[in-house]
Structure 1
């Protein structure tokens, strides 16, 4: 089946970047390629400083960027930051909106196909949007763009994966390494597990440490958080899009603790909410809007519904994070409020809970499907350890010692499994280091790629 390359738009943006907007029609289910189709969008960028004409463009190697998630799209890259570092190195780039996101056939309760109606049908449809099919999409697109190149090596491309994008690359290396020339990962060494419980057992300890840092920096927030949660428990509070701001949802602001500046951003929300209660005995519209906008689940619902399944191979997640968090009294308001006044209530991290499908307005229609998926044991393999152990593709990765989202211990197990992997390990950056210090991260990755050793 040919990709739909009709209707491309080409334009130029500042600093000499040629942009080609590409759309590809791909199978929803690659096991049934002649049945239902979806669209995948990819933004193709060519640095004009590296290519003066069409012939030069054809000679530039490709680098494909896979973003974090699951369920997030890619914005228009600028000529600065890590896109600039990549283009300066002589690559043309492809920025893919992974299936179900952005300008691809986006997936949300309001955009489901008309024939997908029941909870069972929704759950079955959503199962096609994991990393395995994202990789198949990449291969489909690669063959469309590079398949006619004369040399087999020129038909391959380089990939860069941030966070979940790195997880996708580990899947890529497992099943379609023939399409890869080289792989770069940032905070993306996926745990090679079959079910997420042991992952959350490790990650919850990192979330606890980040809470300790938070309350040490802002000790006055111990009482502020309790004041706010007490108010939310006693009142029905609704955010602008009709979601419910419950105590549990408020404590999910800790999702931001793992990003640079996240602790300070959460403090500003707590500070403002506490001020509102003091002045108005309620939370202002602006505060509610800020909280709503800081939580991505309404706009990117795949992030919620497919987060735990990204760890599943032949086993069910069974609301893993919720079960793990229940083991720790520091996250339970019912237990903390009965303790001493100085006992803090801890924020949760990058974790998905059943209550979210009541509290977030745009997740409610998928509540039944979420329960079905949480009990599903039929998830297909995402990784092939034997293939990874025999890997011949050059893999260079930046790994963050204090990563709250990707446990360092599991990352080391994965790095030791994937043959031909070199790491740069740092405690000076956290999970969003690629965006925070792109010059250092990309320079280091390119240096690692040279494989020069003392």
Structure 2
């Protein structure tokens, strides 16, 4: 571990910040504080004096905190992204002052915030969850399912509160014991849970593409999102009409051949169609087309798919390395109701997503790629999900899910919430977001059709500028 500490501590954040790492021991189940514990890792990005720029002389220990909550579920912090976003927050105002004359002194002070980057429980360095760990512990399906139930937003927020109390309870000023949070995608879901049950720990909230649908099960989510996935498929085939026949040809090949992924998984018809997950991000349509083009070239040249192509597909699909993303993707919406393989049930209602039906139609009928959806057959096609198949089945039909949101508390919310909402978001439905935003008090939104779900990565400066402006603007 010392080498890892040294590696991360030596990162030079463009000579503007210093990176340190802390770890915290927290209970797996907060209802059993004396039971098994896990470690939570937190990176702390501290601005150097030369980067403060605002002329405010504050001791490092007095600098306010901004906590970043990662998207997912099931992903740790991307270090390169944390460096980029941390620099944007810590040096945004002083380095962009000419274009930001209207920003107030509060966000001049943002140039002095320490940004914290949490690997949520079960991800990154935070006692990560992988199938082989369960095998090593010789846990059965029921034990695995019981363990995984503790890795949703409610416990991620409890971890945050444990860390906040440790870091800030010593402050004399009650306001100094609060911190600001920025939630991307699923991190925004966590922010809404935070506002529901622990708003007294929050100074302000920023959300990018992550105001959560206020639902009890994933069915309404997928019924809404499938419309957007259809739309993105139409855009794809309008841009690359030759791929109507090309994709059908590839699926015909996969149907008749056993294609094994380098790590031992299977490249099936269903897994190929899951490449449509990329349609929800900038450049995703073009990336999928490139894979289709390479596959057709392989079939024309070799009569099979090349190792290079298959390896590229494996690298685009992260379920093997991030199993929480698969196992808990539907349960993150559950409150007292079961998921029941919601995406599978919803998608089967539309023939265009069902290869067994499309293949019987004429050659000019496109098969639609699927979106951010989890299917039962993934726990056979992905090598490292196979050991979790039984647990995933148990979780899919489990109805004992605690509440994630308190609508009455959210209606009374006084913490300022500034949210970037993407009209064309393929992962978080715009209509459901507006319903949720009407429930949460004190919310202002940047609504745009110029960004997809990964807007904060692709348009970081413009989105942060607007969110900062929303934060401190006065209503007239």
Task: Give the TM-score, by structure 2 length.
Answer: 0.92
Q: Which residue of 2 aligns with 1:398?
A: 420
Q: Distance in 2 between matches of 1:135 and 1:298?
A: 25
Q: Assess, with a 3 A threshold, how the Cα gap between structure 1 residues 316 and 129 changes in structure 2: closer, same or farther.
A: same
CA contact (8 A) 1:15 1:79 kept: no
Q: Which residue of 1 aligns with 2:90?
A: 87
Match of 1:435 among 453, 457, 465: 457
In the TM superposition, residue 56 of structure 1 has moved relative to its aligned partner by 1.6
Q: Which residue of 2 aligns with 1:258?
A: 280
In the TM superposition, residue 361 of structure 1 has moved relative to its aligned partner by 0.2
Q: Distance in 2 between matches of 1:22 and 1:315?
A: 37
Find the residue that maps to 1:45 and give its secondary structure: strand
Q: Deviations over 1:73-117 (max 9, x none)?
A: 112246864322211232111000000000110001112385561
Q: Which residue of 1 aligns with 2:34?
A: 34
Q: Which residue of 2 aligns with 1:4?
A: none
Q: Deviations over 1:209-239 (max 9, x none)?
A: 0000000000000011001000000000001
- Give the unaligned 5+ runs of structure 1: 1-6
Greater shift in the superposed pair: 222-231 or 77-86: 77-86
Q: How many residues align?
A: 448
Pairs within 5 Å for 1:119-198:
119-198=141-220
Pairs within 5 Å for 1:325-404:
325-404=347-426
Find the residue that maps to 2:391 and give its secondary structure: helix
CA RMSD of aligned residues (A): 1.7
Q: Assess, with a 3 A threshold, how the Cα gap between structure 1 residues 328 and 78 changes in structure 2: closer, same or farther.
A: closer
Matched, 1:426 2:448: yes
Q: Which residue of 2 aligns with 1:242?
A: 264
Greater shift in the superposed pair: 81-90 or 189-198: 81-90
Q: Distance in 1 between matches of 2:346 and 2:81?
A: 40
In the TM superposition, residue 165 of structure 1 has moved relative to its aligned partner by 0.3
Q: Which residue of 2 aligns with 1:56?
A: 59
Q: Distance in 2 between matches of 1:250 and 1:356?
A: 11
Q: Distance in 1 between matches of 2:310 and 2:61?
A: 50
In the TM superposition, residue 50 of structure 1 has moved relative to its aligned partner by 2.5
Q: Deviations over 1:31-67 (max 9, x none)?
A: 0111100000000010102299996212211000011
In the TM superposition, residue 147 of structure 1 has moved relative to its aligned partner by 1.1
Matched, 1:319 2:341: yes
Q: Distance in 2 between matches of 1:78 and 1:11?
A: 17
In the TM superposition, residue 16 of structure 1 has moved relative to its aligned partner by 2.5
Find the residue that maps to 2:131 and give its secondary structure: coil
In the TM superposition, residue 453 of structure 1 has moved relative to its aligned partner by 2.7
Match of 1:209 among 226, 231, 235: 231
Find the residue that maps to 1:110 and give its secondary structure: helix
Q: Which residue of 1 aligns with 2:71?
A: 68
Q: Distance in 2 between matches of 1:98 and 1:116?
A: 24
CA contact (8 A) 2:45 2:86 kept: no
Q: Distance in 1 between matches of 2:83 and 2:157?
A: 27
Q: Distance in 2 between matches of 1:253 and 1:291?
A: 8
Q: Distance in 2 between matches of 1:79 and 1:238?
A: 35
Q: Distance in 1 between matches of 2:440 and 2:368?
A: 36
Q: Distance in 2 between matches of 1:54 and 1:25?
A: 33
Q: Assess, with a 3 A threshold, how the Cα gap between structure 1 residues 168 and 113 changes in structure 2: closer, same or farther.
A: farther
Q: Assess, with a 3 A threshold, how the Cα gap between structure 1 residues 448 and 244 changes in structure 2: closer, same or farther.
A: same
Find the residue that maps to 2:172 and give its secondary structure: coil
Q: Distance in 1 between matches of 2:82 and 2:263?
A: 35
Q: Distance in 2 between matches of 1:119 and 1:80?
A: 39
Find the residue that maps to 1:85 and give its secondary structure: helix
Q: Distance in 2 between matches of 1:446 and 1:53?
A: 19
Q: Which residue of 1 aligns with 2:252?
A: 230
Find the residue that maps to 1:128 and give its secondary structure: coil
CA contact (8 A) 1:81 1:439 kept: no
Pairs within 5 Å for 1:8-23:
10-11=9-10, 13=12, 14-23=14-23
Q: Distance in 2 between matches of 1:435 and 1:337?
A: 38
In the TM superposition, residue 12 of structure 1 has moved relative to its aligned partner by 5.6
Q: Assess, with a 3 A threshold, how the Cα gap between structure 1 residues 154 and 132 changes in structure 2: closer, same or farther.
A: same
Q: Distance in 1 between matches of 2:131 and 2:170?
A: 39
Q: Distance in 1 between matches of 2:310 and 2:9?
A: 40
In the TM superposition, residue 274 of structure 1 has moved relative to its aligned partner by 0.8
CA contact (8 A) 2:154 2:190 kept: yes
